[in-house]
Structure 1
Amino acid sequence: MMRLLLLLFALCPSLFAAEHPNIVLILADDLGYGDVGCYGATKVKTPNIDKLASEGRRFTDAHSASAVCTPSRYALLTGEYPFRKNLWGPVMNPSPLVVDASKPTLPSMLKRQGYSTACFGKWHLGFGDRPKPDWNADLKPGPLECGFDHYFGIPVVNSHPPFVWVEDHRVVGLDPADPLKYGGKAQTRMFPEKMFAPAMSSAKAAHALYNEEEHGATLTEKAVNWMRGHADGPFFVYFATPHIHHPFTPGAKFKGSSEAGAYGDFIQEFDWMVGEMMRTLDELKLRENTLVILTSDNGGMLNQGGQQAWKAGHRLNGDLLGFKFDAWEGGHRVPFIARWPGMIEAGSVSDQLICQIDLLSTFATLTGSDTRGPDSLDVLPALLGQPEKPLRTELVLAPHKKTHLALRDGPWLYIGARGGGGFNANKPGEHGLGGGGALKFTGETNSDFLNGKLNPDAPDQQLYNLADDPRQTTNVIREHPEIAKRMAQRLAAIQQ
């Protein structure tokens, strides 16, 4: 039956485009490959996400285009590799909009196809067209200029200022007599791993509405209410949660609910949020006509909360090497689940190589649009069926350091430098624990390192056969120099 549906779609996509499905895209923040039950987690319980997987398709080789938040979100919305924009790290306050709003984006394409579009949660792509946005005026261009009809969420990230809500173009609760001022200390609560300097001072009214421990409940309420108001569809919801980025601030009923500390508690609140979104679709009788995709902007991070979870026996990224920011698999191989009852086979698993950068072209095909992202491929056949051949044969993967730009080619992964290309703090307890220090802490092995330190005779570049060595224990570049050379040349050609 599934093969027949896929064949019909390939022959006549207009049959499907005539009645567009609703699309709910849930993008978690820093949710690692091993952070949910259906991907192997045992110290946290994620019944709603596991149910989503049992009702749809779980991908085992899906990736964010970058191991860092802002670049991966840029790629998802634009269908363009972030290195082409010279995006390698997160943009912090203040920053102008990094997306060229004059070019097609995922929401603007869907809007042209008749969709109502909304974004709830973390934006983290900048505001305005000046180096420093005026937080006391209209914040535009922003999400609305990128194609969303409505936006409500946190403008940057939950660990950094300005610690306010933004709705459409304005800071929520802003009092002209008490404006936001950059610098000083914001009137918000202190949490572990929350970065306060520099911060927004003054604006007590706006800060008073911002309660980190209510993020989950607030964003979920906003999203489900918007869906109820647009039930006649079609609609596109981009639910970009601050979960599970640090600081870990779960609501009261989730505190102490997991076996992995606050890190795990935050995951379990995220799972509840997913459940509320799915229950709303059922309530509105939209389950059968809604494509739901759940994924993460990059891999799990071995910050202080991540280290505590690891000590409790929770493996953030499963058996993958590395963490957020790394070119290693743990930095960018992420959970990816797709559900569309009657169209996607329930309980199925796919090992197709796909990337979030592909969503723009995939959704375009789904809705009958001829828009395509510069680096985006249509992977709809991987969602609806089980293609016999790979749809994507190569993929560029960006870590935090541009020196470590990586290329995937079939089972091969080439990295153009030593190490992971992410954080490199050495001491447990440090926020930026990574590289050799992380390997020593976790007990993971990599042939280029010995007891947490880079071997002096380690090759200058790296090559791994992920089919034979998914944990990346052995750099085989000296055994296959011809493959590494070919991939280095191909990577250079793609960059040019």
Structure 2
Amino acid sequence: MKCLLLAFSMLATVAAHAADKPNIIYILADDLGYGDVQVLNPEHGKIPTPGMDRLAAEGMVFTDAHTSSSVCTPTRYGVLTGRYNWRSRLQSGVLFGFDQPLIAPDRLTVPALLKAQGYKTAMIGKWHLGLGIRKPNGTPTRGKAAPVDGVDWSARIEGGPVDLGFDSWYGIAASLDMPPYIWIENDRFVGECTTVKAFHRKGPAHADFEAIDVLDAIGHKSAEFIAQQNAEEAFFMYVPLTSPHAPIIPSEKWQGKSELGIYGDFVMHTDAIVAQITEAVDAAGLAENTIIIVTSDNGCSKVADIPALKAQGHYPNAHFRGSKSDIWDGGHRVPFIVRWPAAVKAGSSSDAIICLTDLMATAADLTGAELPVNAGEDSVSFAPALKGEPIISDRAGIVHHSVSGQFAYRSGKWKILLTQASGGWTKEKMAIKAPAQLYDMEADPSEQNNLYHSHPEVFERLLAQLETDVARGRSTAGPDQKNDTDRINLKRGMKR
């Protein structure tokens, strides 16, 4: 009898401990601009987004949140590892569906950290960080495409989410314009690709796979997972959406709803999935101690036809210069909304400068975990800001990275760009001739007045700090670490 009472006591203690830790749902939209969320862009946001607006009204908006890169794969690397992608082998561009894993098997990830703290961990959605897909002869696949008979569709997929801390995964390998076009569950393809389809890029596809169905499936699977949870076991759910990234394909229900064209419709469809997940949390009775974070992997893409949207009064990247791929803020300043009724004041906001690499340190802070010295090297906890307190950090600044591998550095109000132009796909004539750029982001958030020539001392100070952050293998306190490569080229966009 004493043993039974002791067992019940231990179970009660574990349950109480788990209940003290917040559930965390991290929704990562794909190419959603800061200005696409109506509450963040009241004057020039013409697309209704009631789901995200509601979360903002019930939680906190971060107005100065940034991705570590202005394109997909590198940002996702930073979210899950708390480390800048350019410390890895990926110096520019993105991976494709048949590329091999970017995250090293021995690197600590956010789900692995939380799993060690007793969390159930699940991922539903787009991976885009490389997978251990094999050819029939067992050798690794690589690149944008492969023939249908060039893949072993029955083999275990290594190096994916379930090998890096997630208990479960249901999703796709990369973007919806990158083959293979097939669902993956945990570490196996759901069936095999027997045909070829093209959702922009042609490649192997499952006969029943249709890109237009994917976003709704992610919403349904996410709501289903939430409905199965209870207050006794904390969970972390990572939901990387496939929208509003190309192919821009809202379901029939949403077509024509925005009156701004197909991109506006797709943003509304995306917002509806956010609302579906929020409503599932509320229906499960888990709202009070569940953190819902909604953000994006980079700014709005040119595929959305930004000039046409602006002609209708909608500015998808708000007043920020540039778009996806660029080193200007339009490429990497993103929506960041947090609802947590137990701790976050409704209708609040923060102007703290944060980065998507900061999830790792925040998760550790919220759960009382201690990060190893070789993990989360570029991650700072934003947990204090959720309670209206200042973020205490010795990280001097945040590094931004463009699609072509060019660098920018933000410290306080100052931002330097180690390039003469956008660093990405935007082609604009520069107002003054200079080897690099310097902006006062408080006075000039649209980055129009290049102060490179008038404040050389500021430029050199920030450049020196950036060089230190690169060389140390980390931008936070702790022992120096090693980058995975010595090919980091800070000044590839400069001519001095």
Answering whether residue 66 of structure 2 is matched by residue 63 of structure 1, we say yes
CA-to-aligned-CA distance 1:339-380 (integer Å, 9 cap, x gap): 100300110011000111011011111011102511111221
Specify the code of the residue in structure 2 equivalent to 1:148: F
> What TM-score do you get using the length of structure 2 for normalisation?
0.84
AA partner of residue 24 (structure 2): I
Whole-angstrom CA distance in 1 between matches of 2:261 and 2:394: 40
Q: Which residue type is aligned with residue 127 of structure 2?
A: W
Partner of 1:411: 413
Q: Give the CA deviation at 1:286.
A: 0.3
Aligned position for 1:3: none
Partner in structure 2 of residue 116 of structure 1: 120
1:308, distance to aligned residue in structure 2 (A):
3.5
Offset at residue 97 of structure 1 (A): 0.7
Whole-Å separation in 2 of the counterparts to 1:256 and 1:196: 26
Distance apart, 1:94 and its partner CA: 1.7
2:185 to 132, 149, 167: 167
Decide whether aligned partners of structure 1 residues 135 and 315 sit closer, same or farther in structure 2, where only a CA change above 3 A counts.
Answer: farther
Identify if the C-alpha distance between structure 1 residues 139 and 419 changes in structure 2 by more than 3 Å, giving closer, same or farther: same
In 2 relative to 1, CA 304–46 (structure 1 residues): closer, same or farther, beyond 3 Å? closer
Are the equivalent residues in 2 in contact too, given 1:259–1:312 (CA < 8 A)? no
2:481 maps to what in 1? none
Instruction: Quote how far apart the aligned CAs of 1:392 are.
Output: 5.5
- Letter of the aligned partner of 2:466 in structure 1? L
Q: Whole-Å Cα distance in 1 between the matches of residues 164 and 377 of structure 2?
A: 17
Aligned with 1:465 (options 428, 440, 454): 440
Give the 3-state SS of the residue equivalent to 2:163 in structure 1.
coil
Report the Cα distance in structure 2 between the residues aligned to 1:401 and 1:253, rounded to whole angstroms: 37
Instruction: Tell whether 2:355 aligns with 1:352.
Output: no
> In structure 1, what residue type is equivalent to 2:182?
V
2:106 is the alignment partner of 1:106: no
Give the corresponding residue for 1:31. Answer: 32
Deviation at 1:304, TM superposition (A): 4.9
C-alpha displacement at 1:388, in angstroms?
Answer: 8.1
Deviations 1:174-196 (A, max 9, x none): 2xxxx55xxxxx543x5xxx422
Deviations along 1:364-423, one digit per CA (max 9) or x if unpaired, are 110111025111112210122232877854111111122x21111111110111101001
Contact 2:47/2:260 (CA < 8 Å) preserved in 1?
A: yes
Question: What does residue 269 of structure 2 align with?
Answer: 269
- Counterpart-to-counterpart distance in 2, 1:18 and 1:228: 17
Q: Deviations over 1:146-205 (max 9, x none)?
A: 11111111211011211111111112132xxxx55xxxxx543x5xxx4224x22xx6xx
Whether the 8 Å CA contact 2:67–2:298 is kept in 1: the answer is yes
Structure 2 unmatched ranges of 5 or more? 1-15, 134-138, 143-150, 472-496
Equivalent residue letter for 1:308: A
Aligned-residue CA RMSD (Å): 2.0
Deviation sequence 1:53-100 (CA, Å, 0-9, x none): 000000100001111110000001000011101422110132111001
Structure 1: segments with no counterpart, 5+ residues: 1-14, 181-185, 424-433, 437-448
Contact 2:101 2:132 in 1 (8 A): yes
Q: Distance in 2 between matches of 1:264 and 1:94?
A: 31
Secondary structure of the structure 1 residue equivalent to 2:381? coil
What is the aligned-residue identity percentage? 38
Task: Give the distance between the partners of 2:306 and 2:250, measured in 1 at CA.
Answer: 15
Q: Alpha-carbon deviation of 1:275?
A: 0.9
Quick one: which amino acid aligns to residue 465 of structure 2? R
Mapped pair 1:195 → 2:200: yes
* Aligned residue type for 2:297: D
In 2, the alpha carbon distance for the partners of 1:259 and 1:323 equals 22
- The answer to whether the Cα contact below 8 Å between 1:71 and 1:90 also exists between their aligned partners in 2 is yes
> 1:367–1:304: structure 2 CA closer, same or farther, 3 Å change rule?
closer
* Residue among 126, 130, 134 paired with 2:130: 126
Matched residue SS, 2:162: coil
Query: 2:95 — aligned with what?
Result: 91
Aligned to 1:379: 382
| Deviation readout 1:91-121 (Å, 9 max, x if unpaired) | 0132111001212100110111111111111
- Matched residues in 1 for 2:162 and 2:88: separation? 21
Write the distance in 1 (CA, Å) between the matches of 2:62 and 2:439. Answer: 21
Cα distance in 1 for partners of 2:383, 2:61 equals 14
Aligned position for 1:435:
427
Is residue 2:201 matched to residue 1:211?
A: no
| Alignment correspondent of 1:52 | 55
Partner of 2:20: 19
Distance 1:329 1:55 in 2: 26
User: Do residues 221 (structure 1) and 216 (structure 2) align?
Assistant: no
SS in 2 for 1:303: helix
C-alpha distance in 2 between matches for 1:34 and 1:367: 33
Equivalent-residue separation in structure 2 for 1:138 and 1:349 (angstroms): 45
Structure 1 segments of 4+ aligned residues over 6 angstroms from their partners: 15-18, 388-391
Question: Does the aligned pair in 1 maintain the 2:97–2:128 contact within 8 Å?
Answer: no
Q: How much does 1:272 deviate?
A: 0.7
Count of matched residue pairs? 435
1:305–1:366 CA distance, 2 compared to 1 (3 A):
same
Q: Distance in 2 between matches of 1:170 and 1:388?
A: 42
Equivalent residue number for residue 255 of structure 2: 255
2:400 aligned with 1:397: yes
CA contact (8 A) 1:415 1:463 kept: yes
Distance 2:420 2:152 in 1: 41
Mapped partners of 1:187, 1:483: distance in 2: 54
Superposition pairs of residues 2-17 of structure 1, within 5 angstroms: none
Change (3 A) 1:391 1:53: farther
State the alpha-carbon separation in 2 of the partners of residues 476 and 123 from structure 1. 39
CA contact (8 A) 1:299 1:330 kept: yes
Q: CA contact under 8 A between 1:353 and 1:393: conserved in structure 2?
A: no
Secondary structure in 1 matching 2:399: strand
